[in-house]
Structure 1
Amino acid sequence: MKLTAVFLLLIASLDVAALTIGEAINIAGRQRMLSQRITQAFILSGIQPEAQRHQKVLKRSVQEFERNNQKLNTFPAAEKIKDQLKKVQSEWQPFKQLSLQPATREGATDLFLRSNKLLTETHSYVVKLQQLADHNSAELINIAGRQRMLSQRICKNYAAKLWKISPAEADQGLQQDLTEYSSRLTRLLESTLNTPEISSNLLKAKDHLNYASRGFEGEMKLSEQRQIQVITGTTDLMLRDMDVVTKQYASLLDSRE
């Protein structure tokens, strides 16, 4: 049993040692997304307490954030920007504790506000990693990774608006996020570094954005329950599209190292 534990620790340490700058930017970028995904899952579990899916998404996302923190905390190439990672962890601890409580409207309002602070600190860390990399493809990883976050912040703001949590802020944020997602998608599509595979995946994300926008604009006449399914399902597809693209950009950067 002890030998098995030692072996697993050795494998984990090798995994950390093998982390590249491109992978680090990708992982740090996922922290931005997870701050928003956790919040929307918490709110939706309050709206639909009988739906197990939201609780599962919430639990998995909290666990992933923790794992990612551990990987980034032991990434030697980013030692000189570790103070920023400490700021992320300082915001994360109270956020995590609140997210694991039963979903109430009061708790959701607090988490909604805290998610914006956590997002600010995680984004700052991604930018510092990008600066360390010092290559054009690092910026593309950052932008594509931010698209993942936007897909989940779109859903978070939709859920907050639905549950009447900071409704004016949620509505304004929803419109701003849809506009930003679209404009950044256009910018990525124009990159001269794109491979045919990257361009194809970006076009998939564009199609999914157009479909989601129909739901937000009221073109679909759906029940609240069905609309939640459509919005969460489509924004998850937007997330997956951009996750693939972010990893493709990370491979581009690492191939130039």
Structure 2
Amino acid sequence: MLSISPLGAHHARRRTLLQLSAAALLCHSSGAAWAQSTPVTSLQMHRAARFRALSQRIAKAYCQAFLNVQPEDAAMAMASSRQLLRAGLQELGKQPWPDALARPLAQVRQFSEGLDTALPMPPTRQSVADAAVQADKMLQSADAVADGLQKIAPFSTDKLVSTAGQQRMLSQRLAKNYFLAAAGLESKDLREQRTADAAEFKRGLASLAASTVSNTTIRSEMTAGEMQWMFLEAALAREPDLRGLRAVASTSERLLGIMDNLALQYEVALKDLRS
């Protein structure tokens, strides 16, 4: 039987550790060199983070069209979401990315390019259900893209910017799930998600309101956001009816715009504080 002396085993372990250390150093150096040669911009971060809200907004608007609730507004929301998706993908497609980021980005692109097939018109109950599933898959990919960019970015996204960005997505998912309930597609999981999302949205508002980072524009947007949330929360508490559906459709769009602007305003304000 072949045996290894303690000294030989020690040398073998040492060689293995040196090899692993060298490999780790090489990977780190390669990643650092890649990040330096192709730096992530704040615009790319903003575009990627917006994918999250767009995934839910598209499914919301599609279900809204199925319910025939302000169908012209639903069509405009779908059209503008596609335009924003294309703009974001174009911005992120200007340079190559590491595999861990390229894969989820390709999935977002695949979803965008397949929208005509995924969202047949006029909508049916089944196509609405399918669109909701695809939207959640896109949300997962969008999360991976945004998180991947953050890991290689030369700067960190402030919690205020991240919170405002998350509020965008929550406003759309809350509305989408309310519309799915009206379409007869609600489930126990969706009800629980609505409850959790509403609680998270309120926590997010409280966190933003408590921040010392503020200016006239931020205060104005926060006041508008708190008011629109009161309207949306009241509408979400109703059993789905025409009045509630119209209120959810309009207030969710207003909240999306407010939170989108807040994310940008916080980013600008924080840059001014650091300069």
TM-score between the two structures when normalised by the length of structure 2: 0.75
User: Does the CA contact (< 8 Å) of 2:150 and 2:157 recur in 1?
Assistant: no
User: Does the CA contact (< 8 Å) of 2:70 and 2:246 recur in 1?
Assistant: no
CA distance in 1, matches of 2:120, 2:243: 26
SS in structure 1 at match of 2:97:
helix
CA distance in 2, matches of 1:148, 1:122: 13
CA distance in 2, matches of 1:189, 1:133: 27
User: Which stretch of structure 1 is more off in the superposition, 96-105 or 121-130?
Assistant: 96-105
1:249–1:71 distance in 2 versus 1, CA, 3 Å:
same
1:136–1:37 distance in 2 versus 1, CA, 3 Å:
same
Tell me whether 1:164 sits opposite 2:181 in the alignment.
no
Ranges in structure 1 where 5+ consecutive residues have no aligned partner = 1-18
Task: Give the aligned partner of residue 4 of structure 1.
Answer: none
Tell me whether 1:25 sits opposite 2:45 in the alignment.
yes
1:193–1:157 distance in 2 versus 1, CA, 3 Å:
same
User: Does the CA contact (< 8 Å) of 1:144 and 1:245 recur in 2?
Assistant: yes
Answer 1 or 2: higher relative contact order, Cα 8 Å, separation at least 6.
1
User: Does the CA contact (< 8 Å) of 2:236 and 2:244 recur in 1?
Assistant: no
Which of the numbers 201, 207, 213 marks the counterpart of 2:221?
201
1:253–1:127 distance in 2 versus 1, CA, 3 Å:
farther
Task: Give the aligned partner of residue 13 of structure 1.
Answer: none
Q: For 1:72, give the aligned amino acid.
A: L
1:197–1:171 distance in 2 versus 1, CA, 3 Å:
same
Give the length in aligned residue pairs. 234
Task: Give the aligned partner of residue 79 of structure 1.
Answer: 97
Task: Give the aligned partner of residue 132 of structure 2.
Answer: 112
1:50–1:40 distance in 2 versus 1, CA, 3 Å:
closer
Q: Answer with 1 or 2: which has the greater Rg.
A: 2
State, as a whole percentage, how many aligned pairs show the same letter.
23
Tell me whether 1:239 sits opposite 2:256 in the alignment.
yes
- What aligned pairs does 1:223-238 form with structure 2 within 5 A after superposition? 224-238=241-255
Shift of 1:233: 1.1
User: Does the CA contact (< 8 Å) of 2:49 and 2:142 recur in 1?
Assistant: yes
